[in-house]
Structures are given as structure tokens and as C-alpha cells.
Amino acid sequence: MSLQLEPTAEEIQSQRLYTDMGVKDHEYKRIVQLIGRKPNYTEIGLFSVLWSEHCSYKHSKPLLKQFPSSGTHILQGPGEGAGVVDIGDDQAVVFKVESHNHPSAVEPYQGAATGVGGILRDVFSMGARPIALLNSLRFGPLATPHVRYLFEEVVAGISGYGNCVGVPTIGGEVQFDETYAGNPLVNAMCVGLIEQKHLQKGIAAGVGNTVMYVGAPTGRDGIHGATFASEELNESSAEKRPSVQVGDPFTEKRVLEACLELVKSDALVGIQDMGAAGLTSSAAEMASKEGSGIDMNLDVVPQREKGMTPYEMMLSESQERMLLVVQKGREKEMEAICQKWDIESAVIGTVKEDQQLTLEFQGQVVADVPVTALTDEAPVYDVPSEEPFSYQEHQQLPTWRPKRKDHNATLLELLERPTIASKEWVYDQYDHMVQTNTLVMPGSDSAVLRIRGTKKALAMTMDGNSRYIALDPYIGGKIAVAEAARNIVCSGAEPLALTDCLNYGSPEQPNIYWQLEQSTAGMSQACNTFETPVVSGNVSLYNETNGEAIHPTPIVGMVGLVKDLEHVTTQHFKQAGDYIYVIGEAESAWGGSELQLLEDGEISGKVPHMDLDLEEKRQQQVLGAIRDGLIQSAHDISEGGLAVAVAECVMDTEFGAAMTMENNAAELFSETQSRYVISVAPEHAQELEQAIPDARRYGTVTEEKALSIKTREEQTLILQPTDTLTHVWKGAIPCLVRSKV
């Protein structure tokens, strides 16, 4: 559409054209009030993307505010490209998670790839070198060709982008559940490392300073991506494929290297990624944070296609682009760095005093709106919240009990469940070793990276079990944070902070808003207990297909600090003869458990109890014992309970385990929280038992490569060769992917 063919301000109003862009009637009225006239086509476009849920958090802001976000070690909380945490020695770790659910639902390869690209830019726009990528993925059961297509292509997209850029993809998790059949989740997290003196902000400071465009030229891809991300999916969503961007990791790699050189120059004032809502959001947010305005000349914006209108340029979500503010007169220095890396740069505007975003195109002013109207004045909705009937129904159900008696068979069936099965098929496709710092590869509780030149290391994990949250969002929210922290502790690290990605259905539904409210309250409480603030995050709402919402799925990405490389611990048994201890007693709590889902095909009832103080105490005890050198291996007990956990400890090792316990399904398979299975050298046993009074000795690591669990009366509950366990556990996903049905 050329400029002349665009609808006029009158037509936009009379034909309610703004509704096509996701703007509601009352929002339109508010826009008219704020700018004192009817917006033209470009202007209504700016508002529509910046006021979308994706950019404005208009339904979630009040809930996000309850998260603790500061602490003595927090250098930057939410509000910038990524959160920043002090790790000593003048270094900081920078991280954030972001969703790319909607694009991945309609174009899985590019959707996932550009999700990785976007989160990388969020981190290097802070001046940090990306050192790790993680991802948390959710799909429907691998039972239909379409879900298998989504799964294979999402993994290929992450692999294709991350591997090329040269940042190791070292961890994450994948779960499968019917609830995600039409709406997969793709949450990508990036972790960066920075010398604190190079920290950057996305601000447009200094009147008269120059606004520069750096990176790939702008095309027509991704127009209205942020708006699309703020709608429910339905049959016609496939038509939105053109609003999915196409990634170019080779350009990203060069933009990354150029930016890391640019940030070392004192000529750079501010830098921000052009992410969702592209040029519009980066310009408006940079000006808003500083209380300034920006004049931009769209004629000089690097363009990939001919005849682009201001509307298209401003709303494009073409990838691999950055917006810079540079000291006036020093543009050439920046251009030289860009040229060295063979990427485009252009001077496209100026920082000004009046707080207006003013766009010129072919000699005309095509948009002139107050920056604050676009950002700070975006509506915030106080949404009604209503507890769904199902919640009380589940609370009142009689305690569920498993019916199965053949524990041997149950263990194998659990190991075969795609959610529990080995994800080797996935992470084999990710370069998890480039940069040569990966100490603990994917497949243990957390991935661990050393920090070169120090004796420190960073542990990182992503977690979120939506089944608990679906049944009980408050307790489920606590569990999500607790499990992440437990995974960090198991690797020998102290949890530092977290980033979260809140994936829910439409917040305009009171029952869904209630889920959001309850689960974030639970998460906040856990964050306070563990002193792990939320330093960054992302909200992805409207995850619905044809009116059916996904399970509420908050994903926690947590980073921890290993103080000494000596403390790095994995879940695998290390030595025959070591004692196996279980910390914490199993309760008969089955709501949302893997065994319940296996038996019933659905979840019901009360979720496992979560006592945050007990959780915190045990984390401190386990971490203390690891630091004192008392623990050889540590693994948290989660999906599938103790039997699955201990099976995971022997797999990929040369050992087996011989254990004794009650003939009790809860002992074997219950998902009671705050529990661990650890192995301890006999000479440290006494000391360990004093350090962790809740630890009970259950058995011994054996040379014989088999998992044997018996009662005291020598009745065999489980007896499986390690090789069989490994074969079943590793074979499950490749077998499902190859299925032709």
C-alpha cells in the first residue's frame, strides 16, 4: 500500500480500522484524547503495537510488580534488555528469557530461530558476550504428524540459529502434554557475561546526539508480529505466517561482534535491540527512559524492499537490527566498526528535548506523537479474577492412589514417557560445547559453565511443571521456583536470581486471570524465601487454540554461582561402594504426578505440599555439604519420583544401585517436594548424617550394572539392568519421532 492509498484518519475512525490492528474502541478514544486529534495510519500503527499486551503488559503489569526485583547483588532489574547480577571480580552475569510461542505455532523453524536471535540481542545490547543459550519447550503428545513436525522444526530452528552464532545451547527442558497440542511453547533464554564497566543502557540521552541504525536492512517481514502474539490462535492463524520473521544467524554473528566492539567506545550513549515492534518500540522506549524525544528521517532507514511506507518500516520486525544513540560528531567511529564487520549502519535521527516521536518521510511529517502516550500512558487493566469451580472440585477429591502393583514395569513405562525420557535426541542437535567452557553438559540437573580465568562457574536451568499449576496455581507457582533453585543447588551452586516467562491463556477470562494472579503470588513468595529476585522476564498471554487455553505455564530460568570449580556436582553416581541417601520423606501426594497421568490419562486432586522454609533449609544443607566435599552426586527428585531419579543417577555410568525400602508406591514414585537422592563416600557418611539429619541411607552404588530395589524382607520391587534402563530412556523420543502413524 503506498502512502496515498493509506486510509485517512477519518476512515480509520469511521470504519473502525483500528480494530484490525487489535486496538479496542475505548483504547482508540484514549489515543485521540492523548494526542488531541485523530491518529493517521502510521500513528495508529505505532499505538497498536506498543499498546499490545506483548509490549505494554497491560493485563499483567500489576502482577509483575509484586515480584521482588532488587537485592544487594542486583545491578539491573526488569526494564532494560536483560537483568544483570553481580558475581564479584567486577564481573556480572546478564540474562533474560523470552517466548516465541505464536510464531513457532505457525512457522516452527523460523519462529524458534528468531526467538533465539531476539534473546541473544537482548543480552548483547547490554554489552555482554552471550555465553549460553537454554530453552524450555512444550508440545502436544508426539502422536500426530503435525506435532512431530512442530517438534522437529522447532529443535532444528534453535539448532540452526544458535549453532551458527557460536553460543552453546547448554540446557533446558522439554515436556509433552495434550494441553499444548495446538499451541506449542518456545521459551528461549540467553546468559551473558560482562565486565561491569561495559554495562550499557537503552537510553536516548543528550539532546542533539545522533540516532543510528545498525544491522540488517528493514523488510516487510514481521509486520504486526507483536499484535499477532497478543491474540488467540485459531484456524486462520496459518494466514499469519507472513508476520513471522526470517532469521539470519550469520548477520546476527557479525552484529554481535560489532556491538561488543561498539560498547567499548565512550561515544556510545545508548543501545537497544529492535525486537518486538521493531523501530517503534526501540525508539519510543529509549526516549521514554530518558524523558527525551526523537526526530527520525525514514528515507534513510536501510531498506531491503522498494516502496516501503512509514507504517511498514516502523512496524517491521525484521531481525538482526539495533538502534544506537551516539555522541554527536563521533558517528564516523561507529561507522568504521560496523564496516569492519561488514554490517550496515545509517544516521537516521536526532535526540531532541521535546518529548515527541516525530517521523519524517519524503519531506513530510508522517507521525508526531508524545513518547509518553506511546509508552507510559499505555492502558493498564484491572482485570476481574474468579476462582474456577474446578479448583475446589480438585481440592475436595478423595486422595488418589495408584492402582499398579508391578513396580518393575511401571518404572520402565515412566522412563519411556517423553516428558521423562532422555532428551539426547534434542541436545545432540545443539552445539553445547563451543566457547569451550561447558563443564556439565545437558542431561544433569543444571548445566554448568566455567568462567575462564577464575575458579568460579555459573549453573543454569529452566523449569516449570504446569500440571501442578493447572490444579493449584498458588502452590504450583511456589514449586516452579523451588524446583529451579533445587536444580541449581544440586550442581553445587548458590541460586542468584531468576528470569521468568509467563505463558497463559487470555487474561480477559477471569478464571485465567485468577491463575495468573495465584501462580505469580506463589512464585513471589518463593523468590522472597530464597532471596532470588526476578531480574527480567516476559509475558506471553493469549496462548489459546480455538478458545481452549493451555495449562498456565510459568517458566523459571535461574542462574546460580559456583564459588569454586571443586564444588561442581552432577547427578551421576561416581564410585561403587558409595552410600545412597534420600533426603526427605515421601508422602502419598499424587495430584499432577507423572504416574497419575500415566494411569488415568489426566490429572486430578491435590498437588504435593510445598513448605518453603523446609525447602530453603534443605537447599542450604545440601549446598553446605557439597561445599564441604561430603557429596559425590546430587539429584533432585521430581517427575516420576525416587525410582526415576535413581535410575537417572545410574544411566550413562558404569554402575548400578542396590537399595532397600518399603513396598510402597509413594516411596518409589511420589513427587513429594524438597527431596534429593545423593551419593556419599563411606568415609563421609557420619559427617553427612550430622550435616543433613533428614538424610536416610537407602543403599549402595554397585559395580554390578543393575538397579535393584528390595524390601527388607528381600522381596524384589525393581530389578533392571542399567543397560535396559538406558535403552528404554534414550530410545523413547527417537522412536516416537520416527513413527509413521
Is residue 431 part of the contact set for other proteins (CB under 8 A)? Answer: yes
Span 205-224, contacts to other proteins by CB under 8 A: none
**434's grid cell:** 563451543
Angle 26-28-29 from CA coordinates, rounded to 5°: 65
Is residue 435 part of the contact set for other proteins (CB under 8 A)? Answer: yes
Provide the 8-state DSSP code for 21: G
101 annotated as ligand-binding: yes
- Find the helix or strand (DSSP H, E) in which 75 lies: strand 74-76
110 Cβ neighbours under 8 A, 6+ residues apart? 103, 157, 244, 245, 246, 247
Is residue 249 part of the contact set for other proteins (CB under 8 A)? Answer: yes
Minimum CB separation of residue 429 from other proteins in Å reads 5
Would you say 163 or 700 has its CB closer to other proteins?
163
Is residue 318 part of the contact set for other proteins (CB under 8 A)? Answer: no
Contact 130, 124 (CB under 8 A): yes
Would you say 437 or 708 has its CB closer to other proteins?
437
> Measured on CA atoms in the order 591, 597, 599, 601, is the torsion positive or negative?
positive
Could you give the 3-state DSSP secondary structure of residue 630? coil
C-alpha torsion 155→160→166→172, nearest 10: -10
Number of amino acids touching other proteins (CB under 8 A):
31
Residues with a known catalytic role: 54, 100
405 annotated as ligand-binding: no
Is residue 250 part of the contact set for other proteins (CB under 8 A)? Answer: yes
From candidates 180, 430, 590, 669, binder to other proteins by CB under 8 A: 430
From candidates 248, 285, 295, 331, binder to other proteins by CB under 8 A: 248
98 annotated as ligand-binding: yes
Amino acid at 36: G
**460's grid cell:** 543454569
Pick the stretch among 430-438, 513-521, 529-537, 725-733 that binds other proteins (CB under 8 A).
430-438
Question: Can you tell me the distance from the alpha carbon of 369 to that of 46, in angstroms, rounded to the nearest whole number?
Answer: 9
Would you say 177 or 431 has its CB closer to other proteins?
431
From candidates 428, 600, 662, 703, binder to other proteins by CB under 8 A: 428
Span 149-178, contacts to other proteins by CB under 8 A: 156, 159-160, 163-166
From candidates 341, 474, 530, 579, binder to other proteins by CB under 8 A: 341
Span 555-614, contacts to other proteins by CB under 8 A: 565
From candidates 3, 143, 347, 434, binder to other proteins by CB under 8 A: 434
Long-range contacts of 110-113 (CB under 8 A, 24+ apart): 110/157, 110/244, 110/245, 110/246, 110/247, 111/154, 111/157, 111/186, 111/244, 112/153, 112/154, 112/155, 112/156, 112/157, 112/158, 112/161, 112/186, 112/188, 113/157, 113/158, 113/160, 113/161, 113/247, 113/249
Question: Can you tell me the distance from the alpha carbon of 12 to that of 15, in angstroms, rounded to the nearest whole number?
Answer: 6
Pick the stretch among 44-52, 293-301, 422-430, 620-628 that binds other proteins (CB under 8 A).
422-430
| 3-class SS letters over 289-352 | HHCCEEEEEHHHCCECCCCCCHHHHHHCCCCCEEEEEECCCCHHHHHHHHHHCCCCEEEEEEEE
Pick the stretch among 52-60, 178-186, 250-258, 600-608 that binds other proteins (CB under 8 A).
250-258
Would you say 376 or 428 has its CB closer to other proteins?
428
674 annotated as ligand-binding: no
Q: Where are the alpha helices (DSSP H) in 397-503?
A: 407-416, 424-427, 466-471, 473-490
Would you say 254 or 407 has its CB closer to other proteins?
254
Is residue 13 part of the contact set for other proteins (CB under 8 A)? Answer: no
273 annotated as ligand-binding: yes
Is residue 515 part of the contact set for other proteins (CB under 8 A)? Answer: no
537 annotated as ligand-binding: yes
Question: Can you tell me the distance from the alpha carbon of 512 to that of 525, in angstroms, rounded to the nearest whole number?
Answer: 20
Residues that constitute the known binding site? 57, 96, 98-102, 121-122, 245, 273, 317-319, 500, 537-538, 540
In the complex, which residues of this chain contact other proteins (CB under 8 A)? 156, 159-160, 163-166, 248-251, 253-254, 341-342, 427-439, 441, 450, 565
User: Which residues are documented as binding site for ATP?
Assistant: 57, 96, 500, 537
Return binding residues for substrate. Answer: 99-102, 121, 245, 317-319, 540
